[in-house]
């Protein structure tokens, strides 16, 4: 078996991986808050967890993967202030919170399928697990960890000495005070809501009765309640974006270790870094979002985005721009073309010849999921003239079971494009505008051509066109 070590956010070091139950791994991944479309930055956390799952499966582990759906309790502010994001979206659209949640959950699932993510074993919704959340809250209340103020019931972080451990927080200076500002009546800035009360005279779509009064659960409570239901009160791996470590995951640890009486609650915390959009932050709340559908409309195969993701280590920030996406699309198409030809090769491969390459590939992923090193092995095999074609075929198709690039099914299609001096010249102008980041001009040219019934396809070869 491959030597496996993962970087653990809690301990700030790489640690040999050893599951609680031999041969079985429990993974919990923070899923979407379904009040709007998920963007490609959100998708990186799903791809990171999927690569982890695929690798562990390839190492003959049984994997139980749980991904939650947040459809209540996530307020506009991490300070437990403001409106619930679902309620706000419902009021703006005139729909019910359930209708909004169903639509964006379906969209999120479609995106995951498009980039070839495996289905989770459990995909629970917060609103379907209110009683489990109340029960955990009651356990915390009985242990003396909660106190009541005017707007809700809060966790007293002073009762949990290890509160700062996961994210190495500076509680004395409370550096993150802007994110977890003081709600009137809170004992410490970091204290967080377990249950929020329904405001008198305010009609909400989502509220429930509880031992503390009518209201709704805090955002953090759901993940502890649902993960413990499906994975137990002590499990192996928790994944999610690095932005969740300082507040959401820190609060999960506090309420779980106090409510369940365990330490550590989770053995390995694996956080992925952001996509970097040139310093511009994408946010559903501001409407500044680039989705997978946007990439598809620009002519990219969704799996070219998965190929793009595999070019960087999950713990490194990865720069996203059109040039990088074009390069990924070109690399993916070359790999597809290579494997499509090799799939036609007959005959058996030589396992002895394949073994060194397979060992290098597994060693790369066993070293904290080093995808770029694994991809280097892929291309070494793809270009290796010394290997028999049957060995290259078997190796690349085997690697794809872990990488999820769809190499075993995809066909390389020959697309037919057109040429006409006037339109070709407009596309040259558009490319020049894009290269100088004059996106307004580039978009205007695309829109003008679309009005003429002309479809512009951006890809690794540049911009091409055809009539719809």
Question: Of all residues in the chain, what percent carry a pLDDT higher than 70?
Answer: 89
pLDDT of residue 289: 62
345-365 confidence digits (pLDDT tens): 999 999 999 999 999 999 999
Q: What are 402's two structure tokens?
A: 């872990």
Does the pLDDT at position 240 exceed 90? yes
Angle between helices 351-366 and 371-382 (to 10 degrees): 160
pLDDT, tens digit, 9 for 90 and up, residues 426-461 = 888 998 888 888 888 988 988 898 898 888 877 656
Q: State the average pLDDT over residues 146-175.
A: 89
> How far, CA to CA in Å, does 32 sit from each of 71, 107, 294?
9, 11, 19
Question: Do the Cβ atoms of 229 and 256 come closer than 8 Å?
Answer: no
Identify the pLDDT of residue 424: 84
**What is d(CA 192, CA 224) in angstroms, rounded to the nearest whole number?**
14
pLDDT of 285 higher than 80? no
Confidence class for position 229, pLDDT limits 50, 70, 90? very high
Question: How high is the pLDDT of residue 85?
Answer: 73
* Three-state secondary-structure class, residue 63: strand
Q: Is the confidence at residue 367, as pLDDT, over 80?
A: yes
* Residue 179 pLDDT level (bands cut at 50, 70, 90): very low
86, 98 contact by CB (below 8 A)? no
- Kindly state the average pLDDT of the residues 259-264: 97
Cα–Cα separations (whole angstroms), residue 198 to 84, 201, 249, 408? 11, 9, 25, 53
The answer to whether the CB of 433 falls within 8 A of the CB of 384 is: no
Three-state secondary structure call for residue 263: coil
Q: Is 323 helix (H, G, I), strand (E, B) or coil?
A: helix
Mean pLDDT, residues 114-141 = 98
Angle among Cα 226, 230, 232 to the nearest 5 degrees reads: 95
pLDDT bracket for residue 181 (50, 70, 90)? low
370-408 pLDDT, tens digit per residue, is 999 999 999 999 999 999 999 999 999 999 999 999 998
Beta bridge partners of 240: 271
By the 8 A CB rule, do 300 and 327 touch? no
What pLDDT is attached to residue 433?
86
Mean pLDDT of all residues in 75-101: 71
pLDDT of residue 130: 97
Please state, in angstroms and rounded to a whole number, the distance separating the CA atoms of residues 423 and 403.
39
pLDDT of 228 = 98
Where does the pLDDT of residue 84 fall: very low under 50, low under 70, confident under 90, or very high at 90 and above?
Answer: low
Question: Which H or E element spans position 100?
Answer: helix 97-114
Written as one string, the DSSP assignment of 8-51 is: ETTTTEEEE---SBTTEEEEEE---BTTS---HHHHHHHHHHHH
Query: Is the CB of residue 70 less than 8 Å from the CB of residue 414?
Result: no
Asked if residues 76 and 85 have their Cβ atoms less than 8 Å apart, the reply is: yes
Angle, vertex CA 273, rays to CA 366 and CA 304, nearest 5:
75
- Report angle CA 330, 333, 338 to the nearest 5 degrees: 125
Q: Is residue 412 scored above 70 in pLDDT? A: no
pLDDT band at 231 (very low <50, low <70, confident <90, very high): very high
Pairing of strands 146-149, 152-155: antiparallel
- Name the band, by pLDDT with cuts 50, 70 and 90, for residue 206: confident
Confidence of residue 333 (pLDDT cuts 50, 70, 90): very high
Q: What is the mean pLDDT of the chain?
A: 90
The residue ranking higher by pLDDT, 463 or 318, is 318
pLDDT at 178: 43
Q: Does residue 52 contact residue 19 with C-beta atoms inside 8 Å?
A: no
> For position 281, what pLDDT does the model report?
56
Tokens 């974006």 identify what position? 241
Q: What is the pLDDT of residue 96?
A: 82
pLDDT for the residue 137? 98
Q: How far apart are CA 344 and CA 286, in angstroms?
A: 49
Average pLDDT (172-180) is: 50
Residue that is written with structure tokens 């005139």 in the block: 94
Q: How far is CA 423 from CA 280, 383, 444, 453, in A?
A: 32, 38, 14, 12
Contact 332, 378 (CB under 8 A): no
31 versus 434: the higher-pLDDT residue is: 31
Which of 204, 160, 152 is CA-nearest to residue 183? Answer: 152
pLDDT tier for residue 135 given thresholds of 50, 70 and 90: very high
Higher pLDDT, 217 or 92: 217
Whether 126 shows a pLDDT value over 70: the answer reads yes
pLDDT band at 268 (very low <50, low <70, confident <90, very high): very high
Give dist(CA 441, CA 198) in Å, integer: 49
């Amino acid at each position: 078996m491959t030597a496996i070590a993962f970087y653990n956010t809690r301990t700030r070091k790489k640690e040999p991986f050893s599951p609680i139950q031999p041969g079985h791994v429990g993974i919990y991944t923070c899923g979407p808050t379904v009040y709007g479309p998920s963007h490609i930055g959100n998708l990186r956390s799903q791809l990171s967890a999927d690569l982890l799952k695929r690798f562990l499966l390839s190492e003959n582990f049984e994997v139980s993967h749980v991904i939650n759906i947040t459809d209540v309790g996530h307020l506009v502010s991490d300070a437990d202030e403001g409106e619930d994001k679902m309620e706000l979206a419902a009021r703006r659209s005139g729909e019910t919170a359930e209708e909004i949640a169903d639509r964006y959950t379906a969209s999120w699932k479609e995106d995951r399928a498009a980039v070839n993510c495996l289905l989770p074993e459990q995909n629970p919704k917060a609103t379907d697990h209110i009683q489990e959340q109340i029960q955990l809250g009651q356990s915390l209340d009985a242990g003396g960890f909660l106190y009541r103020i005017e707007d809700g019931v809060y966790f007293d972080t002073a009762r949990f000495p290890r509160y700062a451990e996961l994210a190495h927080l500076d509680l004395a200076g409370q550096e993150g005070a802007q994110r977890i500002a003081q709600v009137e009546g809170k004992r410490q800035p970091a204290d967080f809501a377990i249950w929020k009360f329904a405001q008198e005279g305010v009609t909400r779509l989502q509220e429930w009765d509880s031992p503390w009064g009518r209201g709704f659960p805090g955002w953090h409570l759901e993940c502890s309640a649902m993960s413990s239901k499906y994975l137990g009160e002590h499990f192996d791996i928790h994944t999610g974006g690095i932005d969740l470590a300082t507040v959401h995951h820190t609060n999960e640890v506090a309420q779980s270790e106090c409510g369940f009486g365990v330490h550590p609650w989770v053995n390995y915390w694996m956080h992925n870094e952001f996509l970097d959009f040139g310093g511009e932050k994408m946010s559903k709340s501001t409407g500044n979002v680039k989705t997978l559908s946007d990439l598809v409309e620009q002519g990219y195969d969704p799996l070219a985005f998965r190929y793009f993701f595999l070019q960087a280590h999950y713990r490194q920030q990865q720069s996203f721009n059109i040039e990088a996406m074009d390069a990924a699309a070109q690399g993916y198409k070359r790999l597809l073309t290579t494997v499509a030809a090799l799939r036609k090769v007959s005959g058996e491969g030589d396992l002895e010849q394949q073994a060194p390459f397979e060992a290098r590939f597994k060693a790369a992923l066993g070293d904290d999921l080093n995808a770029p090193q694994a991809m280097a092995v892929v291309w070494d095999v793809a270009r290796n003239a010394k290997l028999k074609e049957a060995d290259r075929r078997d190796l690349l198709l085997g690697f794809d079971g872990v990488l999820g690039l769809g190499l075993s099914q995809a066909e390389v299609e020959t697309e037919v494009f057109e040429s006409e001096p006037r339109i070709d010249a407009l596309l040259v102008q558009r490319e020049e505008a894009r290269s100088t980041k004059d996106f307004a001009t580039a978009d205007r040219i695309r829109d003008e051509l679309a009005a003429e019934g002309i479809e512009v396809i951006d890809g690794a070869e540049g911009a091409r066109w055809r009539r719809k």
